[in-house]
Amino acid sequence: MPLVDHSGLPTFQRLLAEGQDILREDYAQHQDIRELHIGLLNMMPDAALMATERQFFRLVGMSNQIAQFHMHVFTLDSLPRGEAAQAHIAQYYEKFADLKQKGLDALIITGANPVHAQLEDEPFWPGLMEVVEWAQENVTSTLCSCLASHAIVQHLYGIRRCPLGFKRWGVYKHALTMPEHPLVSNLNTHFDVPHSRFNQIDREQLEEKGLRVLAESHKAGVHLAVSPDLFRFVFFQGHPEYDGISLMKEFRREVNAWYLGRRPDYPPFPQNYFRPQVKAILNEYRLRLAYARVHGTEIPEFPESSLISLLPNTWRDTAKSMVSNWIGKVYQLTNNERHLPFMDGIDPNNPLGLR
């Protein structure tokens, strides 16, 4: 069902150009269709700010529920921002204080770029925990992505992530471990998910605190887990929202960091992502880049345009289905009042009625 452009956010025009259904707010107001109001706390750094908007908007907009989706994007004042990002946020983003007054049906919290060894030392920590504590009492379900998952399970359950000692980076096979859960209803039993992280939370840590693991990879570990009540918090450790080109762009940033001396080694390829033809193109580019670095000549252009058509996206259909299931349960459990009294008569420890 369609997204509603109620803010003029440029992301809506980008998605409209891709063929997404986007309704003008004045038109949507005259439609006799249920509204769902979904918050997006965007903590990503400036370079990924708008791409992250598009990625999560796509997943919500592709949901097959009979509803109009109003996306309410906000961020945290404590996050450092450049001038362009600050202007974008000032023009298009909402304030958390206003959203608390209006209410939300559901909430998505993105990852962030960590700079400290301990998450509680990050500049986003106090603001994020304020949002989490409000959501715990006032939002039907909160979907947490990657680093947000790590921070929130630490805050709520005392579970600390473990450093891997390397970057888990690539596309990995996963299997359902609790196929009866409504969030994974009708999903393929085996599917791909991208990962990109230096730290990990393991199944044993989660289950010790009563959380349920719904999908896991033999190689990459847990991807999908839920809070002990089975729905209030949904945790992604991977990045199913990624576009097909996201890991390629991340690889390009790492290559540039090497060229500029910000990392000592040339980055390895993301695992299970680049085809042999892509690797051949990138190996040839590495030779030209090394020559330019030694001789001080202009950096050669990254061959992105040659690679885009060769990059896979083997995870989007599963991601769409899972988010559609999530939205569907939010739809069933909420009404237009958007506050927790709608849970009257529902067991707060098992709102989905699972046995």
Give the integer Cα–Cα distance in Å for 326 and 242: 18
Instruction: Output the 3-class SS for 111-179.
Output: CCCCCCCCHHHCCCHHHHHHHHHHHHHHCCEEEEECHHHHHHHHHHHCCCCEEEEEEEEEEEEEEECCC
The residue annotated as part of the active site, out of 223, 239, 250, 254, is 239
Instruction: Tell me which of 37, 146, 174, 195 is the catalytic residue.
Output: 146
- Residue of 53, 122, 241, 254 marked catalytic: 241
Q: Is 241 a catalytic residue?
A: yes
Structure tokens at 205: 């840590």
* Cα 115 to Cα 78: distance, rounded to the nearest angstrom: 14
Give the number of other CB atoms < 10 A from CB of residue 296.
Answer: 6
The DSSP line for 33-90 is --EEEEEEE----GGGHHHHHHHHHHHHHT--SSSEEEEEEE--TTS---HHHHHHHH
Give the separation between CA 84 and CA 49, rounded to whole angstroms: 11
Residues 6 or more apart whose CB falls under 8 angstroms from that of 150 comprise 119, 161, 199, 201, 237
| Integer angstrom CA distances of residue 258 from 95, 317, 330 | 38, 34, 44
Q: Could you tell me which residues come within 8 angstroms of residue 22 by beta carbon, excluding any fewer than 6 positions away?
A: 2, 3, 4, 5, 12, 13, 15, 16, 61
CA–CA separation, 66 vs 281, rounded Å? Answer: 45
162 is catalytic: no
Q: Is 254 a catalytic residue?
A: no
Show which residues are catalytic.
Answer: 146, 239, 241
